[in-house]
C-alpha cells in the first residue's frame, strides 16, 4: 500500500478538520462460541483498530447496534441472509461537539466454529468510522479486505498444495485462538499480515480540503488502479459522494418535493426502510438538495425538528410511544408519504 501527497491550492477554513482519514476500523460478530438456535444473536466488537481510543473522539458505544440494527437469531441469519455481502452508511452525531461522523459498514455471513455444532452461520460486520464522507473509497477498502479473505483458501492451495479452511482463519483473526490442532504457521502469518494491512490503512492521513489529495494503492497497479481521496474547499459546494437522485427515484418527484418542503418548513420527518443504505443516502441527499440553504438540525435534540431514518422493524417493536401525530412518515420501500397532522403543502 503506497501513499502519495501532492499540494494543490491552499485555502483556509475555520471549520473543524480531522487529520485522520480513518478514525477506527472495527470487526463485529458473535462472541466466542455463542450458543446457536433461536436465541437472539448478540454481537460484539471482536477487533478494534487502533485498540486505544482517540482522545478527541472516543468510540461510540452504540456502534455495534448501528452495524447490525435488527434483532436476529442464527436461524434468521441462515434464512434471510444470502452469501452475498451488503454495504451501507450510517451517521454518528455528537451533541456536545456538534459534529457528525460516518460509519461505512460491510455485512456478510461466514461459518464460525461453535460448541454445540461443528460450525454455525454468523453475521460479520467490517466497519470504518470516519469524519470524512468519502463513501465510495471506504466501500472499496472494505471490499478489498473481503476479497482478500475470500482468496485465503486459494493461497493455501498455492503455498501448501491444499485448500486452507476459512474457519481456522476466523478463529485466529477474530478470537486469537491458536488451540486448534490443524492450524498451521502459514495461517497464523496470514492473519498477522491482515492486521498489518489494516494498521497501514489506518495510518493514512486525510486530504486537506482544497489543498491536497491522497493516492492510495490497495493492490499493485497491474491489478487495480489506486484510489484517489480528495475533498473540495469548504467554501465551495460540499462533497456528494453518492447518487444524488436516490430520493426522487425511490419516492417519485412529487413525494420527494413534499419531503423537501417539510424539511424547509422545519417539520419532524421520519424515514423508514428495510434497506439501511437507502435510509442514509436519502437523508444525506435531501439535506444536500437544500443548497444554498443548510439544514440547521443535524443533532437530535427534542423538541427541535428532525430528519432521521430508522429500520422498518423499529416502529412495530419500539415505536408505540412515538408521537406520530407530529411526524411526517416517509416509507422508502413503498414510496408512500403519510401526513398524520395538518400539513401545509402547495402540491
Give the pLDDT mean for 147-160: 79
Is residue 61, in this structure, part of any structural domain at all? yes
Same domain, 225 and 250: no
Domain final residue pick, 230, 258, 279: 230
Same domain, 38 and 154: yes
Q: Indicate the average pLDDT of the chain.
A: 81
Question: Residue 282 pLDDT > 90, yes or no?
Answer: yes
pLDDT confidence of residue 142: 96
Same domain, 30 and 124: yes
Give the pLDDT mean for 178-203: 84
Same domain, 124 and 100: yes
Is residue 154, in this structure, part of any structural domain at all? yes
Domain final residue pick, 186, 202, 230: 230
Question: pLDDT tens digits, residue range 96-134?
Answer: 777 889 999 999 988 877 655 456 788 899 999 999 999
Is residue 237, in this structure, part of any structural domain at all? no
Question: Residue 182 pLDDT > 90, yes or no?
Answer: no
Question: pLDDT tens digits, residue range 47-58?
Answer: 999 999 999 999
Same domain, 83 and 175: yes
pLDDT confidence of residue 99: 82
Same domain, 216 and 252: no
The closest of 58, 238, 36 to 134, measured between CA atoms, is: 238
Same domain, 67 and 182: yes
Question: Residue 233 pLDDT > 70, yes or no?
Answer: yes
Whole-structure pTM value: 0.85
Same domain, 183 and 315: no
pLDDT confidence of residue 154: 78
Which three three-digit cell numbers place residue 216? Answer: 492510495
Query: What are the backbone angles phi and psi of residue 168, rounded to the nearest 5°?
Result: -65, -40
**DSSP state for residue 73 in the 8-state scheme:** B
Is residue 209, in this structure, part of any structural domain at all? yes
- What lies within 8 Å, CB to CB, of 323 at 6+ separation is none
Does the CA dihedral 218-220-222-226 come out positive or negative?
positive
Helix, strand, coil % in the chain, rounded to nearest 5: 30, 25, 45
Q: State how far the Cα of 347 lies from the Cα of 342, in Å rounded to an integer.
A: 14
Question: Residue 17 pLDDT > 90, yes or no?
Answer: no
Q: Which CATH number does the domain housing residue 278 bear?
A: 3.40.50.11500
Which three three-digit cell numbers place residue 170? Answer: 476466523
Is residue 306, in this structure, part of any structural domain at all? yes
Amino acid at each position: 500500500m503506497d501513499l502519495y501527497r501532492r499540494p494543490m491550492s491552499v485555502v483556509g477554513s475555520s471549520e473543524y478538520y480531522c487529520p485522520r482519514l480513518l478514525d477506527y476500523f472495527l470487526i463485529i460478530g458473535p462472541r466466542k462460541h455463542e450458543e446457536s438456535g433461536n436465541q437472539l444473536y448478540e454481537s460484539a466488537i471482536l477487533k478494534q483498530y487502533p485498540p486505544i481510543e482517540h482522545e478527541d473522539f472516543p468510540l461510540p458505544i452504540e456502534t455495534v447496534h448501528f452495524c447490525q440494527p435488527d434483532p436476529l437469531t442464527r436461524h434468521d441469519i441462515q434464512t434471510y441472509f444470502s452469501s452475498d455481502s451488503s454495504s451501507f452508511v450510517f451517521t454518528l452525531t455528537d451533541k456536545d461537539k456538534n459534529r457528525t461522523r460516518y460509519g461505512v459498514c460491510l455485512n456478510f455471513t461466514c461459518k464460525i466454529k461453535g460448541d454445540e455444532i461443528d460450525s454455525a452461520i454468523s453475521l460479520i460486520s467490517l466497519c470504518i468510522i470516519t469524519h470524512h464522507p468519502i463513501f465510495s473509497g471506504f466501500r472499496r477498502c472494505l471490499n478489498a479486505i473481503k476479497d482478500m479473505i475470500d482468496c485465503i483458501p486459494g493461497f493455501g492451495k498455492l503455498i501448501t498444495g491444499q485448500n486452507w479452511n476459512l474457519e481456522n482463519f476466523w478463529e485466529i483473526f477474530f478470537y486469537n485462538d491458536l488451540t486448534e490442532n490443524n492450524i498451521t504457521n502459514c495461517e497464523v502469518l496470514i492473519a498477522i499480515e491482515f492486521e498489518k494491512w489494516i494498521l497501514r490503512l489506518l495510518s493514512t492521513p486525510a486530504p486537506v480540503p482544497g489543498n491536497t489529495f491522497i493516492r492510495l494503492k490497495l493492490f499493485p497497479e497491474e491489478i487495480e488502479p489506486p484510489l484517489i481521496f480528495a475533498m473540495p474547499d469548504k467554501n465551495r459546494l460540499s462533497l456528494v459522494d453518492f447518487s444524488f437522485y436516490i430520493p426522487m427515484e425511490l419516492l417519485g418527484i412529487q413525494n420527494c418535493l413534499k419531503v423537501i418542503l417539510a424539511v424547509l418548513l422545519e417539520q419532524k420527518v421520519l424515514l423508514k426502510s428495510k434497506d439501511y443504505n437507502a435510509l442514509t443516502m436519502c437523508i444525506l441527499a435531501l439535506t444536500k438538495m437544500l443548497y444554498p440553504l443548510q439544514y440547521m438540525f443535524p443533532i437530535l435534540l427534542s423538541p427541535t425538528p428532525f430528519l432521521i431514518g430508522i429500520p422498518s422493524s423499529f416502529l412495530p417493536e419500539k415505536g408505540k410511544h412515538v408521537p406520530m401525530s407530529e411526524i411526517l412518515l416517509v416509507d422508502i420501500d413503498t414510496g408512500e408519504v403519510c401526513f398524520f397532522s395538518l400539513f401545509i403543502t402547495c402540491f
